[in-house]
Amino acid sequence: MFLCVSCKNKNEISYEDNLNLKGTKWKLELISYAESNIFRVLEPVDCEECYTLIFDTNTTAKGFVVDTPVGLIISGKKAKAIPPDIGGEGVRDAKYYMDAFFGVNNTSYSISETEMKLHFSEPISINGMGDNKFNSFDSYLLYKKIK
């Protein structure tokens, strides 16, 4: 089974079909930055709970950035990150994750049996003075299913 919310192939399932996400656990494999063509694997790699998402329903997930809780809502063809109440950015590579994860704001996603991609808007400096524009959501967080 493969779900692609931006594709138009009649053999693919739609969102309304059964996603079967409830109870599944996903761990971040890498972050892909489209503008710079960089793939980043985040530290700590050996932490079982770091950069994970666990779906408590078919459309909502809770997870952790090292030691900070985060959330995700999938609604129709879009995904939206739910920010934590506090911190988390000072621990190892957590800042990279937080910047990418919270760029998931009504952006597309794709899910297969083993992978989930959450596309995000990557800020791009347009004049070096702090004025930013955003790319076309080609950047993504790649998760692998672990349960």
Which residues face 110 on adjacent strands? 4, 117
pLDDT at position 130 is 46
C-alpha span between 56 and 115 (Å, rounded): 18
Inter-CA distances, 123 with 28, 72, 86, 138, Å: 21, 20, 22, 12
Q: Count how many Cα atoms sit within 13 Å of the Cα of residue 99 in the half-sphere of its side chain.
A: 15
pTM of the model: 0.76
Question: CB under 8 Å to 105, separation ≥6 — which residues?
Answer: 80, 81, 120, 121
pLDDT at position 72 is 93
Q: State how beta strands 68-75 and 60-65 pair.
A: antiparallel
C-alpha span between 59 and 97 (Å, rounded): 21
Per-residue pLDDT of the chain (147 residues; tens, 9 = 90+): 334 444 434 444 444 355 789 999 999 999 998 877 889 999 888 888 889 999 999 999 999 887 778 899 998 889 998 877 655 555 567 888 888 888 888 788 999 989 999 988 765 544 444 444 445 558 899 999 998
Q: Count how many Cα atoms sit within 13 Å of the Cα of residue 124 in the half-sphere of its side chain.
A: 14
pLDDT at position 87 is 52
C-alpha span between 21 and 37 (Å, rounded): 30
Q: Where are the domains of the chain?
A: 2-7+20-145
Q: Using CA atoms in the order 51, 54, 60, 65, what is the torsion angle rounded to 10 degrees?
A: -20
The top-level CATH class assigned to 2-7+20-145 is mainly beta
> Looking at residue 13, what DSSP letter applies?
P
